[in-house]
Amino acid sequence: MSTFLTHRTSWKIGAVAALTLAYLYRAGFTFSSTIFPFQTTTHDAPHVADMSTQKALYLLEPKGKFAVQERDIQEPGPGEVLVEIHATALNPVDWKIQAFDFAIKDYPAIVGTDSAGIVKKVGAGVTNVAVGDKVLHQGFFDNRRATFQQHTVVPAEIVAKIPPNLNFDQASTIPLTLATAAVGLYNDKKGGGIDLDAPWEEGGSNKYAGEPILVIGGSSAVGQHVIQFAKISGFSPIITTASKQNEAYLKSLGATHVIDRNAPLADLSASVKAITDKPVKVAYDAISFADTQNAAYDVLASGGKFVVVLNEAIEKDKITSDKEVVHVYGNVHMPVNREIGKSLYAKLTSLLEAGDIKPNNVEVLPNGLAGIPEGLEKLRKGVSALKLVARPQETA
């Protein structure tokens, strides 16, 4: 029988990128200024290093190599801040962009979407942060807002201060995966969510007390944040799949039951029924291969809602009108996600300070930006229960 483990080793990497790309096209995206309305459209040439320049890691051409080069430090516009990046986390989308050439219009290109650092300049009208504040934020796929560089520009409304209980490395692991979890659970369907009440808003905390939730892939970076949101939303039991070695860690985040990911997927429904006799009306598949989606869909009760992170792959003969499936695209820079992003970031500092949202475990890469290519290769081969982090200011 198929299992989580055998599935992960048998699927071709190209299929993952194809599903991701298929979603973007299905959603009407064309890789131009239409999809990324603030995207830089000019090419960046190397510069002689001085006080107005920085180091950045460029992807030189489609499916090409990375190289550290100099580029101008950008000026923040109205409502924006300039952030000096002290830590940037790596995500699977970063190596997939290199391998399959999607989401980027112009080369040489800078990628990277997780950042923590210090505000160096603020644009007109910015009041929520000030020069010198330590902040975290999500980046975007253009050279102005990407995070594999020493400085980046970001809209202030989707920036949050880092509380004293987190360092830069920890904070940098949060933005992308947190957004993917939050958008999928709490945005409306148009934005790729199932429209639950957000726990950081009035009346949202513990709103779903006593209701079960299933999270496929709990030890993934996204899965960890889904579990944490499920906890503060009140869901119980919180059932997830993961390896036995990550069981204690996931329970510390809020999972109540961990099903061995190596168990046959055909047994998933029975395993869930052994835990709860209540109907499971919320499921989130942070892995979203075809067999995990179909297994989770079988668990989902009538009237249930199901979030997937790759293109929907439910077998046609299983699909029923009483179950809703949505495909999340977790970036708060996108207009369709901006409002929930603003709402989340307005409360994120307090969530982090209270420990309601915790960072992923961290492994720091050596050599600053120059260490990222090796880190992406490591990520491509498989990393579980932690995020790889680079420190751009340590670039030689």
Going by pLDDT thresholds of 50, 70 and 90, the confidence category of residue 372 is very high
**Residue at 338 is within a domain:** no
pLDDT at 39 over 80: no
pLDDT at 380 over 70: yes
The stretches of 193-267 forming alpha helices (DSSP H) are 221-233, 247-253
Top-confidence residue, 87 or 16: 87
Same domain, 150 and 207: no
Same domain, 316 and 205: yes
pLDDT at 2 over 70: no
CATH number at residue 317: 3.40.50.720
Q: Is-contact 249 220, C-beta < 8 A?
A: no
Going by pLDDT thresholds of 50, 70 and 90, the confidence category of residue 383 is confident
Top-confidence residue, 4 or 101: 101
Asked which of 327, 343, 376 is the last residue of a domain, the reply is 327
Same domain, 198 and 242: yes
Over residues 155-182, mean pLDDT? 98
pLDDT at 248: 97
246-292 pLDDT, tens digit per residue, is 999 999 999 999 999 999 999 999 999 999 999 999 999 999 999 99
CA 25 vs CA 101, 102, 220: distances in Å: 14, 11, 25
Backbone angles phi, psi at 367, to 5 degrees: 75, 25
Same domain, 63 and 76: yes
**Residue at 5 is within a domain:** no
Handedness of CA 128, 134, 136, 139 (dihedral sign): positive
131-152 pLDDT, tens digit per residue, is 999 999 999 999 999 999 999 9
Same domain, 363 and 319: no
pLDDT at 21 over 90: no
Instruction: Give me 276's structure tokens.
Output: 């709860």
pLDDT at 51: 65
pLDDT at 33: 31
Going by pLDDT thresholds of 50, 70 and 90, the confidence category of residue 69 is very high
- Distance CA(31)–CA(96), nearest Å, equals 15
Top-confidence residue, 246 or 27: 246
Q: Percentage of residues in the chain with pLDDT exceeding 70?
A: 87
Closest-CA residue to 358 (of 186, 257, 226, 215): 226
Same domain, 323 and 376: no
The domain tally of the chain equals: 2
pLDDT at 382: 85
Pairing of strands 134-138, 213-216: unpaired
pLDDT at 16 over 70: no
pLDDT at 224 over 60: yes
Handedness of CA 36, 41, 45, 48 (dihedral sign): negative
pLDDT at 384: 79
- Distance CA(384)–CA(308), nearest Å, equals 19
Same domain, 126 and 191: no
Q: Which residues pair with 88 in a beta bridge?
A: 390
**Residue at 21 is within a domain:** no
pLDDT at 41 over 60: no
CA 50 vs CA 72, 121, 131, 163: distances in Å: 9, 18, 21, 32
Over residues 376-386, mean pLDDT? 89
pLDDT at 9: 36
The stretches of the chain forming alpha helices (DSSP H) are 4-10, 13-26, 92-100, 168-172, 175-186, 221-233, 247-253, 268-275, 290-299, 335-353, 372-381
pLDDT at 6 over 70: no
pLDDT at 273: 98
Which structural domain, as residue segments, surrounds residue 238?
178-327
The structure's pTM equals 0.87
pLDDT at 15 over 90: no
pLDDT at 185: 99
- Distance CA(255)–CA(235), nearest Å, equals 10
Output DSSP code: residue 264.
B
Same domain, 262 and 377: no
Instruction: Give me 124's structure tokens.
Output: 């007109």
